[in-house]
Structure 1
Amino acid sequence: MRAVLTTAHGDRSVLALKSDHPDPAPGPGEVVVTIAATAVNYHDIFTRRGMPGIRIDLPVIVGSDIAGEVTELGDGVDASWLGQRVLIDPVFRDGKRFGMIGETCDGGRAERIAVATGQLLRVPDGVTLEQAASLPLAYGTAWRMMVTRGRVAEGETVLVLGASGGVGVACVQIARLFGARVIACASSERKAERLRSLGADEVVNYAERPFRESVQEIIGKPRMSGDGGVDVAVNFTGGDTLIDTQKCTRLGGRILTCGATAGYELTLDARYWWTFEHDLIGSNGWEPSDLEALLQAIDDGRLAPEIDRRFPLEETAEAERLLEDREVVGKVLIVP
């Protein structure tokens, strides 16, 4: 079968398209899924570059967000799975092995994949396989952070830093789904326009002006009276942005995070933490129940994942470049 392998740690030149990669064979309790689409995530790029402290056996087929159709059954698998449209939850949750598909074992940048039935979620009729393939790493992470952990509610004001990436776009859409007002941060007017089209009520360009100044101008400075500031601030940027985020968050507000793309050694102003009684809420990945809730929201017509572009396997390096150069808003898919 055709597959794109990450052959070594390095730049995009280490990506190699193979036309004769061995076909997967399902073991007991497994199925073969013919892949309809796999999403490109920054995790794929981090795997290619090499992550400190994490050893990856190379070569590997990356791609963790995968959807397709079950076309072959292994021993002991119920025949009802054959022909089913499925989303693969890439995380190993059985306690027998750790990590996830597309990292510690071959993933979705291929025509087919063998996977255990315990990692399959049926895709409802009203959800396309491309929409399903957009979900786990970005939308699943955002849903758990915003809904399961963050409890975003109707009428609240939500600030989203890094709003134009996969997780950020999902946060904007999910906040709007729950009836919140959204202030989104982006680095260009082109991205700002896309975010407005997705439901952002206000967009601040942090490349032109510090986001704290713009947000406070829109919503007011947080006051001990309870006036000013956002109810919820989503900050998975990290780096030097946390104190300014605190200064945008109202009395009793929540600051949510699921990562730290600009650096994990953070400086926090404890005075704002205790004085304004902020809740700092962390969220790690997703659970199958989060993915099921997303599939239902799409099936109900309440949510539509934002897919920026689609590429064939032959153009995988260009798909990664777009993410690295921050030229996309939403998800990029590889369609084998």
Structure 2
Amino acid sequence: MRTMVVSSPEELAVVDAPEPVPAAGQVRIEVDAVGVGYLDVMAQRGQYRTTLGAGAVPGAEVVGRVAAVGPGTPTGLVGNRVLAVMPDFGGFAEQVLAEADAVFPAPDELDAAEVVGLGLNAIVAELGLHRAGVRAGDRVLVLGAGGGIGVLATQIARAHGAEVTVMTSSEARGERLRALGATHVVDRNRTGSPEGETYDLVVDPIAGPALGKHLRLLRPNGRYVLCGGAAGIPDPQALLSLLEDFHKSPTLFAFSLTAVSARERRQSWERIMGLLAEGRLVSVVDQSLPLAEAGAALERVAEGKPFGKVVLHPR
């Protein structure tokens, strides 16, 4: 089978690999679509807990059909169409192994690209907002709102009755976000950040040097969901703003799926499917490319160009 492996810090290569054999508790999936996210970029650059060095295979989420199961794994999974979350990567391939407790039913009404367009990003956005207790009437700010997490966080917050402000990089992206439920748009290239505004809840998938400034946008008893690092690892000094604003009782949720149980992920996916069925959530796919163009896909993500999810098709 074909697999894309890291050949250098900035390059990938196609290699032939043997068909993987599932161990106990695992499934083998014939892949129809792979999500490409900033997580892959960070791991390839050595900026994540897992470094994708030479010979490693990027890709943390796939959609496909279960072709085989390992010993002790329910045989009823064979033939099921699923989304698989792969925290240790390995998704840029025609077939992959995944833990059986990390696969979720893929909705029949969406094609493979649309399912992966939800995928990890939807679970991160939904669980982050769920843990932070988003509710009707909240003023919510979504940073990096045109990215894979942002386009979904915007919709999910709106579905809960929040008034959503989004920060993005152009007027065109802002109009697309309005169509997804945003009430207010801040063009970061014009104003930098909302002026004179404060929020009950901030969703931040970008972090970076502006973290301290964004933390100060919280209202008293505000909640801040830090769920990514697309703008880089923030200076630890940025967290001093939490202490300086101690009188406002802010709460910081430093949120990563690696610390979330399989049960919580499954419950989140069920809530996401509920929003989808109610017509309150749509998948946003930026581009679909063949597996051989994985390098171009990663470059596009690294440059912050996608609106929504970039998807690869191995077959």
TM range (shorter): 0.7 to 0.9
Q: 1:118 to 1:248 in 2, by over 3 A?
A: closer
| Structural mapping, 1:151-190, within 5 Å | 151-190=133-172
The answer on 1:15 being equivalent to 2:12 is yes
Structure 1 segments, 4+ long, off by >6 Å, are none
- For structure 1, the residue ranges without an aligned partner over 5 or more in a row are 91-99, 220-228
Q: 1:190 to 1:38 in 2, by over 3 A?
A: same
The answer on 1:279 being equivalent to 2:257 is no
Distance in 2 (CA, whole Å) between partners of 1:282 and 1:50 is 20
Q: 1:160 to 1:89 in 2, by over 3 A?
A: same
Q: Which amino acid aligns with 1:262?
A: G
What's the counterpart of residue 239 of structure 1? 208
The answer on 1:130 being equivalent to 2:108 is no
Distance in 2 (CA, whole Å) between partners of 1:327 and 1:68 is 26
Q: TM-score, normalised by structure 2?
A: 0.87
Q: TM-score, normalised by structure 1?
A: 0.82
Distance in 2 (CA, whole Å) between partners of 1:247 and 1:49 is 30
The answer on 1:145 being equivalent to 2:128 is yes
Q: Is the 8 A contact 1:163 1:185 kept in 2?
A: yes
Q: Is the 8 A contact 1:132 1:295 kept in 2?
A: no
Identical amino acids, percent of aligned pairs: 30
> How many residues align structurally?
305
Distance in 2 (CA, whole Å) between partners of 1:82 and 1:202 is 46
Q: Which amino acid aligns with 2:177?
A: L
What's the counterpart of residue 296 of structure 1? 274
Q: Which amino acid aligns with 2:96?
A: I
Distance in 2 (CA, whole Å) between partners of 1:292 and 1:75 is 27
| Structural mapping, 1:61-80, within 5 Å | 61-80=57-76
Q: Is the 8 A contact 2:209 2:234 kept in 1?
A: no
Q: Of the candidates 13, 34, 40, which is equivalent to residue 38 of structure 1? A: 34
Q: Offset at 1:329?
A: 0.9
Q: Which amino acid aligns with 1:264?
A: P
The answer on 1:262 being equivalent to 2:258 is no
Of 171-180 and 239-248, the range deviating more from structure 2: 239-248
Distance in 2 (CA, whole Å) between partners of 1:52 and 1:181 is 33
The answer on 1:320 being equivalent to 2:298 is yes
What's the counterpart of residue 60 of structure 1? 56
Q: Is the 8 A contact 2:84 2:104 kept in 1?
A: yes
Distance in 2 (CA, whole Å) between partners of 1:243 and 1:48 is 27
SS at match of 1:162: coil
Q: Which amino acid aligns with 1:282?
A: A
Q: 1:291 to 1:308 in 2, by over 3 A?
A: same
What's the counterpart of residue 99 of structure 2? 116
Q: Offset at 1:270?
A: 5.0
